[in-house]
Amino acid sequence: MFVSQEPVVDLKKASIPLIESWKDEFREIRQDFHRNPEIGLDTPRTSGKIAGFLRSYGVDEVHENIGGCGVVGVVYGSSKEGPSLGVRADIDALPMKEMSDHDHVSCLGNRMHGCGHDGHGTTLLAVAKYFAQTRNFAGKAVLIFQPGEEGWSGAKVMMDDGLFERFPVQEIYAYHTASALRPGELALNYGAMQAAADAFTLTITGKGGHGSRPENCNDPIVAAAYIITALQTLVSRNVSPLDSAVVSCGSIHSGDPLAQSVIPNSCQIVGTTRTFKPETRDLIEKRLKEVAESTAAAFGCTAVLDYDRKYPPLINSEEQAKPIADVGAELVGEENVKRNYPRATGGEDFAFMAGAVPGAYIRVGQGGAPAHNGYFDFNDEIIPLAASLLVKTLEKRFKDLAG
Ligand SMILES: [Zn+2]
Ligand SMILES: [Zn+2]
């Protein structure tokens, strides 16, 4: 069964009262986003709504169309002089079918907010509204609404369009809702949070012919079978047992199901790799190529590797991770902050931002169905807590950095 949605603390008491008083307003916004999911980098409705809300809150600068549908809101503190600190929320949905029957289900059959990014964007709107009303800091809060997290490298797309040149920030923060934790629980670590997620395609070419006369052929299917088996040794024999990595083949294709007596000319294997260290990532790519090429050669075939480095590993910096954990402990109690939370083999494109600017990424518990499951729904109850966590962390850092 799913993790309980019963909070471990009184969420109302744990949150900033002003933000808590906006709970219904932000629930409505979140559920509107949920009903109207948009995929990938193409999020015009969501982005337009976000820009409109930011203007209505009195956010000082609202910039649209950064890397396509990206939006940036800048709130000035009581004084503009001071550091600039960033918070990023992803806003895109997934190409999947919603299974629930609550009153805010997706209005599109094959798209849904199955990862909670509807809630992340809404939380950052609450942060914007609070900062615009209170301005209890010196400096600038840079609030980044980013499409295309689910495989489109949206963070990189915004950065390639000059995000940090136009809006330089000293530090950057983000959160992700977590179904594995109960509402009121927070989790992070001071190092690798998420893996590098890469994709590979191996094209094995042999010599096709009649299935009854294999001696005249170089069978790419047999070569592919040995390659897939040999790839299992990358993690078991090449990566240190004290490190970790994943190599998974997700697709193999060759020949035609109707052609039982045809040895095909080629075979394609598609897969993913996950690593946490740059040197392990290099090792896996190198060994994948060597093992595939030399195994193919043993069968008179060739293998060509196309290795696509998608998302780098997401590494928290202790200098930012510790303060957000400390603020979290003030809100929900030290016993509900997991500071040594295990890293996950999923990818996350906030890694591009946290690779360019020191930052921290934290998980905020919500319970319920896991992300990317058809029954998943962002838990609106955690919006005030998540927004309070981000607000208080930035307010603290504005002070810390001012010396
Ligand atoms: Zn996701
Ligand atoms: Zn997500």
| CATH 3.30.70.360 domain position(s) in the chain | 196-309
- Beta strands, E only, 321-382: 337-338, 359-365
> Residue 90 C-alpha to ligand 1 middle, in angstroms?
10
Ligand index nearest the alpha carbon of residue 118: 2
The pLDDT of residue 145: 98
The pLDDT of residue 97: 96
> Residue 149 C-alpha to ligand 2 middle, in angstroms?
7
Asked if the 11-194+313-402 domain carries CATH number 3.40.630.10, the reply is yes
Active-site residue 149, yes or no? yes
Residue 372 marked ligand-binding: yes
The pLDDT of residue 1: 85
Residue 176 marked ligand-binding: yes
pLDDT of 323-339, one tens digit each? Answer: 999 999 999 999 999 99
Location of structure tokens 């946490």: 276
pLDDT at 403 over 80: no
> Residue 114 C-alpha to ligand 2 middle, in angstroms?
8
Ligand index nearest the alpha carbon of residue 120: 2
> Residue 82 C-alpha to ligand 1 middle, in angstroms?
34
Ligand index nearest the alpha carbon of residue 176: 2
Q: Given the residues 149, 198, 293, 395, select the one marked as catalytic.
A: 149
CA–CA separation, 26 and 146 (whole Å): 19
Active-site residue 98, yes or no? no
CA–CA separation, 121 and 83 (whole Å): 23
Q: Given the residues 90, 92, 98, 377, select the one marked as catalytic.
A: 92
Asked if the 196-309 domain carries CATH number 3.30.390.10, the reply is no
| CATH 3.40.630.10 domain position(s) in the chain | 11-194+313-402
pLDDT at 109 over 90: no
CA–CA separation, 53 and 100 (whole Å): 28
Give the amino acid at 386.
Answer: A
The pLDDT of residue 182: 98
Please list, in sequence order, all residues whose beta carbon lies within 8 angstroms of the beta carbon of residue 31, skipping any fewer than 6 positions away: 104, 380
Neighbours of 164 (CB within 10 A): 16
> Residue 66 C-alpha to ligand 1 middle, in angstroms?
22
pLDDT at 315 over 90: yes
Please list, in sequence order, all residues whose beta carbon lies within 8 angstroms of the beta carbon of residue 53, skipping any fewer than 6 positions away: 29, 125, 128, 129
> Residue 150 C-alpha to ligand 2 middle, in angstroms?
7
pLDDT of 38-66, one tens digit each? Answer: 999 999 999 999 999 999 999 999 999 99
The phi and psi torsions of 100 (rounded to 5 degrees) equal -75, 170
Ligand index nearest the alpha carbon of residue 119: 2
Average per-residue pLDDT in the chain?
97
CA distances, 163 to each of 31, 63, 71 (Å): 29, 11, 10
pLDDT of 60-94, one tens digit each? Answer: 999 999 999 999 999 999 999 999 999 999 999 99
pLDDT of 136-164, one tens digit each? Answer: 999 999 999 999 999 999 999 999 999 99
pLDDT at 349 over 90: yes
The answer to whether 212 and 225 have CB atoms below 8 angstroms apart is no
Predicted confidence band of residue 20 (pLDDT cuts 50, 70, 90): very high
The phi and psi torsions of 267 (rounded to 5 degrees) equal -145, 140
Determine which helix (DSSP H) or strand (DSSP E) holds 32, and give its type and residue range. helix 23-35
> Residue 127 C-alpha to ligand 2 middle, in angstroms?
19
Predicted confidence band of residue 222 (pLDDT cuts 50, 70, 90): very high
Residue 102 marked ligand-binding: no
pLDDT at 350 over 90: yes
Residue 115 marked ligand-binding: yes
